[in-house]
Amino acid sequence: IGLLDALEIDKAVFIGHDWGGFVAWAMPILHPDRVLGVGGVCTPYMPFPTTDLLRQLFPDPEKMYMLWFQEPGVAEGRLNEQVDLVFEKLFVGGTDPAILMERAMKRAEETGEGPDLNPFANLADLESIGAPLLSGAELQTYVDTFSTTGFAGGVNWYRNIDANAAKYPGVGNDVVTHPALMLCAEWDPVLSPAMAAGMPALCSDLEMHTIEQAGHFVQIEKPEAVSSLIGDWMQRRFPV
C-alpha cells in the first residue's frame, strides 16, 4: 500500500509466487479498495499454515522445514554457511512426482524413518534430480546477494506464520470477489495442484490453469508459459 501511495497508483493487480503468493492473496481481503485483481503462481488461496497443525503432521521438527525454521539462529546459521548449495541444489527444474515418491519410499526403507520434508538441513547430501535452472552468472548473483544479506529475513517469514494466522483470520477463509488467476505447476512437490482444488468455492471470479511438466520454480523453468497466461488474462480482464 505504501508503494501504491508513493507511486500515486490507486489500484493494481497483485500476483505472487510461494510466500509472495500469500501476500498477494491477502491484498483483496485486507485492502479490497486498492486491488483490481489478484493471482497466485503455485500458491493457492488458503489460510496460513500454523505450527500446531504442522506439529500434528510432523512430530519431529527436523523433518519439516517450516518447523525447523522456527528456532532463531538455527536455520539461517546453517544456510549462511553454504549459500552456494542453497541455490545449486534447490533451483532445479521439475521432476515427475512418481519418481520423487519412489525415491522417498526407498530412502524410508533404508533409514527406517518417515517422510523428510526438510531439504535445507542437509544440503550437501541432497540429491539433485531436476536440471539446473540458473546460468552461472545468475547463480553467482544470488550467491553474492545472500552472502551479504544472509537468510534471516526470509526465514523470519516462517517464524511469523502463527502471528499472521491469528491477526488475519479472514485471509484464506473469506471469499475473494475480485478477478482471480491461479497458475499451478503440475510437478510442484511443495504446492501441488491438488492444493488448489477448493479455490472455486473461495474465489467467485476465478480462472485456473496448470502448466504441465513444471516444478516449483515454474516462472523460471517455463517463463514463456507463465507470462503468456498472465498477459492473456490481464488483457481480457483489464483492457486498457
| Residue 18 among the catalytic residues | yes
Nine-digit cell string for 82: 553454504
Q: What is the C-alpha to C-alpha distance for residues 141 and 84, in angstroms, rounded to an integer? A: 10
CB 107 within 8 A of CB 116: yes
The residue from 17, 18, 116, 178 that is catalytic is 18
> How many Å separate Cα 126 from the centre of its chain?
20
Strand partners, 184: 210
CB 67 within 8 A of CB 61: yes
The residue from 65, 116, 188, 216 that is catalytic is 216
Q: What is the C-alpha to C-alpha distance for residues 162 and 227, in angstroms, rounded to an integer? A: 33
| Residue 162 among the catalytic residues | no
Q: What is the C-alpha to C-alpha distance for residues 5 and 233, in angstroms, rounded to an integer? A: 25
| Residue 158 among the catalytic residues | yes
The residue from 158, 168, 174, 209 that is catalytic is 158
Strand partners, 40: 16, 182
By annotation, the residues acting in catalysis are: 18, 158, 216
